[in-house]
């Protein structure tokens, strides 16, 4: 499959190049801030991309996706607090626990549809939020400080800004590649088929919910990885990372960038977090501008930024 | 025993308050098929308006009435300027747009009223405890909330079930296009319903204000509870919302009051004191998850379209 030369692909390619070259720029200008900002952005982009897998391709509107950020983060934080600093243990645990959580809530939630699905995923995320708040041994409401970043036996040093950035970027590109492969596989086509017409897929013999559930678990696992990265990035994990407004942020990134397009969530995460950052430098009241901007995007730019780019090509 | 009565009343009061919030949400949801996350912001605005107007007029009742009117107008303006263009759109678009409105309202409030919370003092005649049954005293203000909310619920029932406007609202809930085709000014009806929902949210906010502090983000937690209620009750059903609101209010309050003691009997002291707060906060969500797993359309689903 040869990629077409159109506006969306050019933007995506330029964006990837810029992300790869960013540490060079940062080192040349001595601008460390931009590197730490973009480390955060790549982590959220990975989380948003995983949400896009179920929301954009699978038609499952999960409003509790931030739960995995917290679960992945707490897996790292709790193991670190208990003296297990090795990333070779921490990260697999983060992924497995996220996958199990996704399996549990997915198998229950997928019995419902539409708004009910939105609400039940939200309910499960809120439960995870309250469980984390009650972990008094691990900081409870105040959160848990991660004193030492995951240790990969000298393979990579997570405390080095540039190395950590490239690790996050590598995870993002790896995640995107995985999603791309999934979406274009037989499995992915079935999931997308179920999104467009469930009854028809059932009728030709596909067990729709089983495909949905597997997709849901994959997305949760990828987001758990983002959670492990996030805990390492902030050296801290707290229940707030699972609060429903965080899930809302992730949804906003996906819709803003363009649902159901591979690079849409990445662009969405970049634009949303940059906008937030820029506005907060001008004014304390960034929501006064960010809020109406979101409203205007919904009203006038359907399909998000990728949708806009797609229309540009057609003129 | 007295404690149980008191907590039951607290639960009833909280449930009725939640009903006011959920009723507007379920009407807007049922009739316009519109997911309004900004409903919690209207609740918050009701509380801020009340705090301002009460301080300004010096009278609690007058201030509350003014705040109610202000929230009604705000709701109508919001619907007219922005939200009416989102009917018939994807639920996700609506979630995104109204999420933006939450950000806007939170910062607008911070700009106007400052980041610190406000207090809404009660007039003296509402602070005295009232003896409800011999030996049991209950705060007059909470009693008033129960009475007002019950009256509003009864009025809502009468309006929806016994008046022409109510008939149109119910007709709109079962088939939007059809009542439009029958020559009803559906835009006006929608604006009216939205304004009504906003006023109910404002009423809930201003009544809750003296009990809690008036602060930014106060609408967010309770908004989720209101969503839980309409999902449990069945979307679009006012009766369902009423039952579910009482159910949630009472279970939540009773859970918070008695769960710690109950757990302490079963578990060791340390384990119980860790588990109790989490479990009582989770109780509602647990309940909703169970109900949705067993009855994916809620307990009292509105008539099928």
Kindly list the domain boundaries of chain A, sorted by start residue.
39-243
Q: What is the pLDDT of residue B304?
A: 47
Rg value, chain A, Cα: 19
Compute φ and ψ for A151, nearest 5 degrees.
-105, 120
Which residues 279-298 on chain B approach chain A with CB closer than 8 angstroms?
279, 281-282, 285-286, 288-289, 292-293, 296-298
> Minimum mean pLDDT among A247-261, B144-158, B284-298: which range?
B284-298
Q: pLDDT tens-digit profile of A17-58?
A: 999 999 999 999 988 899 999 999 999 999 999 999 999 999
Share of chain A above pLDDT 90, in %: 61
Contacts of A63 in chain B (CB under 8 A): 95
Q: How close does chain A come to B289, measured CA to CA in Å?
A: 6
Structure tokens at B267: 């578990």
B226 touches chain A (CB under 8 A): no
**Beta bridge mates, B139:** B129
A196, A58 contact by CB (below 8 A): no
Q: What is the pLDDT of residue A285?
A: 82
Q: pLDDT-derived band of residue A315, with 50, 70 and 90 as boundaries?
A: very low
A287/A13: higher pLDDT: A13
Torsion of CA A243, B227, A51, A42, to 10 degrees: -30
pLDDT score of B305 more than 50: no
Q: What is the pLDDT of residue B277?
A: 73
Number of helices followed by number of strands (H, E) in chain B: 11, 2
A16 CA to centre of own chain: 17
Q: pLDDT-derived band of residue A250, with 50, 70 and 90 as boundaries?
A: very high
Contact B110 A285 (CB under 8 A): yes
B277 touches chain A (CB under 8 A): yes
Interface test with B, best of A67, A104, A118, A127 (most B CBs within 10 A): A127
Contacts of B295 in chain A (CB under 8 A): none
A273-to-A44, A169, B193, B219, B289 alpha-carbon distances in Å: 9, 16, 36, 24, 32
B300/A267: higher pLDDT: A267
Q: What sign does the CA torsion over A102, A105, A111, A113 have?
A: negative
B220 touches chain A (CB under 8 A): yes
pTM: 0.86
* Mean pLDDT in residue range A219-235: 96
Q: pLDDT tens-digit profile of B96-110?
A: 889 899 989 999 999
* Mean pLDDT in residue range B9-36: 89
A8/A200: higher pLDDT: A200
Q: What is the pLDDT of residue B203?
A: 95
pLDDT score of A270 more than 90: yes
Residue of A nearest to B217 (CA): A245
Q: What is the pLDDT of residue A148?
A: 87
Contact B282 A126 (CB under 8 A): yes
Contact A123 B297 (CB under 8 A): no
Structure tokens at B151: 């009256």
A62, A51 contact by CB (below 8 A): yes
Q: pLDDT-derived band of residue B262, with 50, 70 and 90 as boundaries?
A: confident
For A177, counting Cβ atoms within 10 Å of its Cβ (0-12 exposed, 13-18 middle, 19+ buried), the class is: exposed
- Calpha distance A56→B168 (Å, rounded): 36
A152 CA to centre of own chain: 23
A263/B292: higher pLDDT: A263
Structure tokens at B49: 């308006």
Q: pLDDT tens-digit profile of A184-215?
A: 999 999 999 999 999 999 999 999 999 999 99
Supply the mean pLDDT for chain A. Answer: 90
pLDDT score of A130 more than 50: yes
Q: What is the pLDDT of residue A1?
A: 52
> Minimum mean pLDDT among B43-47, B177-181, B199-203: which range?
B177-181
pLDDT score of A314 more than 60: no
Q: What is the pLDDT of residue B24?
A: 87
Q: What is the pLDDT of residue B187?
A: 86
The answer, yes or no, to whether ipTM is higher than 0.95 is no
Q: pLDDT tens-digit profile of B53-68?
A: 999 998 999 999 999 9
B99 CA to centre of own chain: 18
Q: What is the pLDDT of residue B303?
A: 56
Share of chain B above pLDDT 90, in %: 34
Rank A18-32, A213-227, B217-231 by mean pLDDT and report only the highest. A213-227
Q: pLDDT tens-digit profile of B95-153?
A: 888 989 998 999 999 999 998 888 888 888 888 888 877 777 888 898 999 999 999 99
> Minimum mean pLDDT among A75-79, B12-16, B275-279: which range?
B275-279
What ranges do the domains of chain B cover?
10-216
**Nearest partner of B208 among B188, B226, B195, B192, judged by Cα:** B226
- Calpha distance A72→A41 (Å, rounded): 17
Q: pLDDT tens-digit profile of A146-179?
A: 988 888 888 888 889 999 999 999 999 999 999 9
Q: pLDDT-derived band of residue A217, with 50, 70 and 90 as boundaries?
A: very high
CB contact burial B29-41 (16+ within 10 A = b; e otherwise): bbbbbbbbbbbbb
Q: What is the pLDDT of residue B160?
A: 85
Which pairs with CB-CB distance under 8 Å and at least 24 residues apart come from B292-295? B292/A108, B292/A109, B292/A111, B292/A112, B292/A116, B292/A119, B292/A120, B292/A123, B292/B231, B292/B232, B293/A108, B293/A111
With H, G, I as helix, E, B as strand and everything else as coil, classify residue A226: helix
Q: What is the pLDDT of residue A207?
A: 92
Supply the mean pLDDT for chain B. Answer: 87
Compute φ and ψ for B12, nearest 5 degrees.
-60, -45
- Calpha distance A75→A92 (Å, rounded): 9
Contacts of B227 in chain A (CB under 8 A): 119, 122
Q: What is the pLDDT of residue B111?
A: 92
Q: What sign does the CA torsion over B21, B23, B27, B29 have?
A: positive
């Amino acid at each position: 499959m040869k990629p077409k030369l159109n506006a969306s692909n050019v933007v995506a390619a330029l964006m990837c190049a810029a992300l790869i070259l960013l540490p060079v720029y940062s080192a040349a200008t001595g601008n460390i801030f931009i590197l730490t900002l973009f480390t955060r952005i790549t982590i959220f982009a990975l989380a948003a991309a995983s949400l896009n897998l179920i929301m954009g391709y699978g038609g499952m509107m999960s409003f509790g996706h931030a739960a995995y950020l917290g679960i992945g983060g707490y897996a790292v934080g709790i193991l670190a607090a208990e003296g297990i600093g090795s990333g070779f243990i921490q990260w697999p645990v983060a992924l497995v626990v996220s996958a199990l959580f996704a399996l549990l809530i997915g198998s229950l939630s997928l019995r419902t549809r539409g708004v009910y699905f939105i609400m039940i995923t939200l309910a499960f995320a809120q439960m995870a939020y309250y469980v984390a708040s009650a972990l008094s041994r691990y900081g409870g409401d105040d959160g848990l400080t991660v004193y030492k970043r995951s240790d990969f036996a000298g393979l990579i040093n997570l405390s080095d800004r540039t190395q950590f950035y490239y690790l996050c970027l590598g995870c993002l590109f790896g995640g995107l590649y995985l999603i791309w492969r999934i979406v274009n596989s037989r499995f992915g086509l079935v999931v997308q088929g179920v999104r467009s017409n469930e009854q028809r897929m059932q009728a030709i013999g596909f067990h729709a919910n089983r495909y949905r559930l597997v997709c849901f678990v994959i997305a949760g696992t990828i987001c758990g990885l983002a959670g492990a990265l996030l805990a390492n990035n902030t050296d801290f994990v707290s229940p707030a990372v699972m609060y429903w407004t965080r899930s809302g942020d992730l949804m906003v990134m996906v819709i803003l960038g363009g649902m159901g397009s591979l690079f849409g969530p990445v662009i969405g995460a970049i634009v949303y977090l940059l906008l937030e950052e820029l506005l907060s430098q001008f004014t304390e009241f960034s929501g006064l501008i960010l809020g109406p901007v979101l409203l205007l995007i919904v009203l006038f730019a359907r399909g998000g930024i990728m949708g806009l780019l797609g229309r540009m090509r057609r003129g | 025993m007295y404690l149980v009565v008191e907590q039951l009343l607290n639960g009833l009061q909280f449930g009725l308050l939640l009903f006011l919030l959920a009723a507007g949400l379920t009407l807007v949801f049922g009739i316009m098929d519109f997911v309004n996350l900004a409903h919690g912001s209207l609740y918050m605005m009701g509380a801020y308006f009340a705090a301002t107007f009460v301080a300004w007029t010096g009278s609690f009742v007058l201030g509350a009435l003014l705040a109610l009117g202000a929230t009604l107008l705000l709701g109508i303006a919001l619907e007219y300027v922005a939200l009416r263009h989102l009917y018939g759109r994807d639920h996700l678009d609506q979630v995104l747009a109204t999420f933006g409105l939450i950000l806007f309202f939170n910062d607008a409030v911070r700009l106007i009223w400052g980041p610190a919370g406000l207090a809404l003092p009660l007039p003296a005649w509402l602070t005295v405890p009232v003896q409800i049954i011999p030996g049991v005293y209950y705060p007059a203000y909470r009693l008033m909330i129960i009475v007002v909310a019950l009256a509003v619920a009864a009025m809502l029932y009468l309006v929806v079930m016994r008046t022409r406007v109510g008939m149109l609202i119910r007709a709109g809930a079962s088939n939007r296009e059809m009542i439009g085709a029958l020559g009803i000014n559906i835009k006006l009806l929608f604006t009216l319903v939205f304004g009504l929902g906003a006023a109910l949210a404002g009423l809930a906010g201003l009544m809750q204000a003296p009990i809690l502090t008036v602060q930014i983000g106060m609408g967010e937690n309770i908004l989720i509870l209101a969503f839980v209620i309409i999902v449990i009750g069945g979307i679009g059903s006012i009766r369902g919302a009423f039952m579910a609101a009482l159910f949630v209010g009472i279970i939540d309050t009773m859970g918070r009051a008695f769960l710690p003691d109950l757990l302490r009997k079963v578990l060791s002291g340390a384990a119980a004191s860790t588990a109790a707060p989490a479990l009582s906060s989770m109780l509602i969500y647990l309940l909703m998850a169970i109900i949705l797993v067993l009855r994916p359309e809620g307990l009292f689903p509105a008539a099928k379209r």
